[in-house]
Amino acid sequence: MTNLQKRRLIREGKRKIDHHVETKLIVKILRACTIDDKNLLQHPNYYKVIAWTDPGDPYTTQVWVSKGNYWKYNTELVIPLDFPAKYLYLELFRKYSCRDPATSDGDVAIGRAKIRLPTDDKFSGAARLVDFNSDRCIVDRGTLELSLELIHTVVVI
C-alpha cells in the first residue's frame, strides 16, 4: 500500500490497523511477613503465592520454606493481560500443613489481598493480607512486599 493510499484511507476514516499492543504485568514478590502461631517444635512452614487477574487463569510461585515469620523471597511472575483488568488478586497458602490436616490437599489459605493495578506503569509497596476468623470478621494475617510493573509492547502484524 502506498503512502497516498494510506492517506486516503485515513482521510475517509478507514484506517487499517497493522499492529496491536501486548501488555504484560510483572509481579515481583520481595518479602513476606505472616502473623502466624509459629511453634518452634513443629516442622517448618512451606508457602506459595497464587496471583491472578482472571479467576480462570491463576499463576503460582514455587513453594518456599520460611525461616521464622518474616522471610525474603525474590520471585517474579509474568502475567499477560489480554483484557483490561483493574485488580490483581493474591493469595498466600501454607503447603503440607501438619496443623490443619483436614484439608484435602494440605493447602491452607493464610490471607488474601486485592491490589488495584498501576495506572502509571509502576507500583512498589506492601499488600495487607486479610482473612476471616470464625466470627466472619476480617483479621490481618500479614503483608507481602511487592512491586508491579506494566510493560506494553507494540507488535506489528
Which CATH number do you get for residue 66?
2.60.40.150
Q: What is the pLDDT of residue 28?
A: 92
Structural domain contains residue 36: yes
DSSP labels, 71-135:
EEEEEEEEEEESS---EEEEEEEEES-SS-TTSSSS-EEEEEEEEEPPSSSEEEEEEEEEEE-TT
**What is the C-alpha separation between 29 and 49, in angstroms, rounded?**
9
Residue 153: name the closest of 53, 15, 25 by CA.
25
Residue 50: name the closest of 60, 42, 40 by CA.
60
Q: Phi and psi of 9, rounded to 5°?
A: -65, -40
pLDDT tier for residue 146 given thresholds of 50, 70 and 90: very high
Residue 127: name the closest of 54, 30, 41, 53 by CA.
30
Count of domains for the chain = 1
Structural domain contains residue 104: yes
Q: Is 6 in a helix, a strand, or coil?
A: helix
How many Cβ atoms from other residues are within 10 Å of residue 112's Cβ? Answer: 17
Assess whether pLDDT exceeds 90 at residue 148: yes
Q: What is the pLDDT of residue 79?
A: 92
Structural domain contains residue 63: yes
**What is the C-alpha separation between 140 and 130, in angstroms, rounded?**
5
Domain that includes residue 52, residue range: 16-156
Structural domain contains residue 72: yes
Average pLDDT, integer, range 11-40: 73
Residue showing cell 507481602 = 144
Structural domain contains residue 10: no
Tens of pLDDT, residue by residue over 97-126, are: 666 655 667 788 889 999 998 888 888 999
Instruction: Encode 33-42: b = buried (16+ Cβ within 10 Å), e = exposed.
Output: bbebeeeeee
Q: What is the pLDDT of residue 57?
A: 84
Q: How far is CA 65 from CA 51, 95, 96, 147, in A?
A: 19, 10, 11, 21
